[in-house]
Amino acid sequence: MELLQRSAAALAVIDVQERLLPAIPEEPRASVLRNALILIETARALGVPVLASEQYPKGLGPTVPEIRAAIGDRFAPVEKLAFSCGRSPEFRTVLEGTHKRSIVLCGVETHVCVLQTAVDLVSEGYRVFVPADAVASRRPLDWERGLALMDKAGVVVGTTEAFVFQLLERAGTDEFKRISKLLR
């Protein structure tokens, strides 16, 4: 296993939408939102590209305001009907345009869109990283089995903090001081 390196990394925020997020129980919902925001802030501070997807926004609504605001003026979600972002030609075009081969995935639901995206990207030769505390499902068993299936498929399953520190690489920098405050 290799560590996540910022020079090769992109972040994809998957389907954190207004009608989908409330279906997630309170504790995992709060965790996925908090940790997605930490990942976005880290990515922005380090110059890591941030992508976003929306699954059938006509039915599931737009991305939640907190995520839209955190991504900022670069927010341009890719609308999709396929569960996997990897099967959306529009998403593939945006991802390929980053020229990054390591992808951190966060969002919902772990066992559907995140899992299918992760497996498709691994099969395309991407290195995929999924922080378990930045993905969620409506049911605990789906979250647990989704992570297990990703691990079996070659996805690196870790935590938000583990991946943030891999991207930071060292202490003592202005970036470290700014980002480490978010992890408290």
The 3-state secondary structure of the chain reads CCCCCHHHEEEEEECCECCCHHHCCHHHHHHHHHHHHHHHHHHHHHCCCEEEEEECHHHHCCECHHHHHHHHHHCCCEEECCCCHHHCHHHHHHHHHHCCCEEEEEEECHHHHHHHHHHHHHHCCCEEEEEHHHEECCCHHHHHHHHHHHHHCCCEEECHHHHHHHHHCCCCCHHHHHHHHHHC
pLDDT of residue 16: 98
Q: Is 113 a catalytic residue?
A: yes
Q: Which of 85, 100, 106, 113 is catalytic?
A: 113
Q: According to the model, what pLDDT value does residue 1 have? A: 76
Q: What is the pTM of this model?
A: 0.97
**pLDDT at site 154:** 98
Residue 57 CA, distance from chain mean position: 18
Amino acid identity at 137: S
CATH of domain 6-183: 3.40.50.850
Of the candidates 80, 85, 106, 120, the residue annotated as catalytic is 80
Q: What local confidence, expressed as pLDDT, does residue 184 receive?
A: 81
pLDDT score recorded for residue 74: 84
Catalytic residue check, 100? no
120 assigned to active site: no
Q: Per residue in 88-125, pLDDT tens?
A: 999 999 999 999 999 999 999 999 999 999 999 999 99
| Marked catalytic residue, from 15, 106, 120, 133 | 15
Low-confidence ranges of the chain (pLDDT < 50): none
